[in-house]
Structure 1
Amino acid sequence: MFEPQGPKRLSDIVPGDETWLNPFFIIPPKRLNHMWVDEQGEKHVVLSPGFQSRKRMFTVFFNYSGPLEVDMLPQDTTMTATYYVQNMLSQVKSAINEQRPKVSTSRTLLLHYNAGPHKARATTQSLRELGIRILSHPAYSPDLALYDFWLLTILNNRLAGQKFDRIQDPKEAVNSEPRTLPEEDYQVVFRKWQIRLKRCIENHGEYFEEL
């Protein structure tokens, strides 16, 4: 489908997914939290008890040219199909139209994985009305998810350990960090994703290394 003479282009794909971050302190990756202690040594505390309850859900959409939309779920709000449709999908379409005014939205292939709100009837109906199609993704395959194996890792590494005083500060940080990446980085990772797909097909879905 995405070969040079194929009917679709990598620039048509819009990946997007959610992740949980603490709005006041973004936890460093586990590998950065490891430390040696003796039997009587005091364990290092990354977060005090109860701090986890202050986490918020962030959703990021991007494409071949860069980021499109960043959303932070309000406190005490649950991610539902209604919220997803009303607060994200329409904004994503507007961002696509602004970025590619001469390209029809019907070419867009949304890669938003298999979460419940993504598969709900209200979501699929809204996508049909917006003229956006779904690019299917195999379940339990984060190694094939552009968001998981690339952008989420970058956000965690760049923002890890930062402390924020205001609730809007982390959203601004998550919104600005992807925009600091050159457009070439986005294009390279889409091509790497294509290679991952080919390797998966060649190995008939079995385990392999050296991605």
Structure 2
Amino acid sequence: MCTHKSRGGAGAGRREPRRAGAGAGPRSRRPAPLLDTTLDSVEDLGHDGRPVEVLTPENINSVQEKVLSDRRLKIREIAARLGLSKSTVHRIIHDHLHMSKSKRESMEWRFKNEKPPITEKVHQSTKKLMCTIFWDCHGILMVDFKERNTVINGAYYASLIHKLRAIKEKRRGKLAKGVLLLHDNAPVHTAFVAKAAVRECGFTEVDHPPYSPDMAPSDYFLFPNLKRDLRGKKFFNDEELEAAVLGHFEDKTSRYFYKGIQMLIQRCQKCVDIKGDYIEK
């Protein structure tokens, strides 16, 4: 109970003491029970609110098996696969298995005093061989393998254009309806000497959107298929590699090349529909 005095103003005077919570008797409060349980995290609580035993021999063995199966696994990945909390997995790995990760040792889990893995010395691979291919809906027109120590520039590409013109002249009807030349906007293609060669040969360049490899048939069709065929194979010299490239096209019919050109029409329409965005597939 308490008393209150108020001074000044009309109605000022002594007020009768009031009991807190008038109309109700005195209330008693029970002290809340203390929770004397240590948890790793709220994730260790079961559906009924009781803690789950997590640091068990079974869980420790499960974590160890996961780590040894893939030493690059992250704690959150192990926790998700075993249905444990991240803090539990962290305690098991560091406090019970005594393992740690080192950025200097390939980011793998290692036991204390365990020697790092022996990494093989990386040997420099054979230098790449550059290849330029001209083709149409009927097949391969010309394949050029760049010689070693040859500079790729506008003059070099211009010489290839003139060679292509000579090849087309040998094939009847190839030049009668004109030639549409489609290549990307690489510097060697846009060089003044290269463009001059295109005009001299009577070819017509097809406009190619900048930074759009998805609109070049060689990039989305011809070379990806060639790379898949050569992947995993070893060649000990340039001659073996050149033979493998040429052999890749030997059994390809005109239907194969026509499909690659026909895909360009579909991709152009799709590019228009999506307002110039990239086409991944």
**TM-score, normalised on structure 2?**
0.55
State the superposition RMSD in angstroms: 2.6
Amino acid at match of 1:72: F
For 1:51, what is the secondary structure of its paired residue?
coil
For residue 232 of structure 2, the aligned residue among 154, 158, 161 is: 161
Shift of 1:81: 1.2
Aligned residue for 2:263?
192
Shift of 1:141: 1.1
1:92-119 deviation per Cα after TM superposition (whole angstroms, max 9, x unaligned): 22232334x1242671111111111111
1:137 aligns with 2:208: yes
Larger Rg: 2
Alignment map for 1:116-135 (pairs within 5 Å): 116-135=187-206
Q: Quick one: structure 1 residues 109 and 208, their matched pair in 2 at CA, closer, same or farther if it must change by over 3 Å?
A: closer
For residue 250 of structure 2, the aligned residue among 179, 182, 189 is: 179
Aligned residue for 1:82?
155
Amino acid at match of 2:145: M
1:130-150 deviation per Cα after TM superposition (whole angstroms, max 9, x unaligned): 111111111111111100111
Q: Percent identity?
A: 26
Distance 2:124 2:207 in 1: 38
1:173-194 deviation per Cα after TM superposition (whole angstroms, max 9, x unaligned): 2223123211101112211210
Shift of 1:165: 2.8
Aligned residue for 1:95?
167
1:51-80 deviation per Cα after TM superposition (whole angstroms, max 9, x unaligned): 26x112111111010111111111122201
Amino acid at match of 1:152: F
Runs of 4+ in 1 over 3 A off after TM superposition: 40-45, 206-209
**Does the 8 Å CA contact 2:133/2:144 hold for their aligned counterparts?**
yes
Distance 1:136 1:89 in 2: 17
**TM-score, normalised on structure 1?**
0.71
Q: Relative CO higher for 1 or 2, CA cutoff 8 Å, sep ≥ 6? A: 1
Distance 1:73 1:102 in 2: 29
**Does the 8 Å CA contact 1:67/1:179 hold for their aligned counterparts?**
no
Structure 2 spans left out of the alignment, 5+ residues: 1-68, 72-107, 110-115
Shift of 1:196: 0.7
Shift of 1:207: 5.1
Structure 1 spans left out of the alignment, 5+ residues: 1-35
**Does the 8 Å CA contact 1:105/1:131 hold for their aligned counterparts?**
no
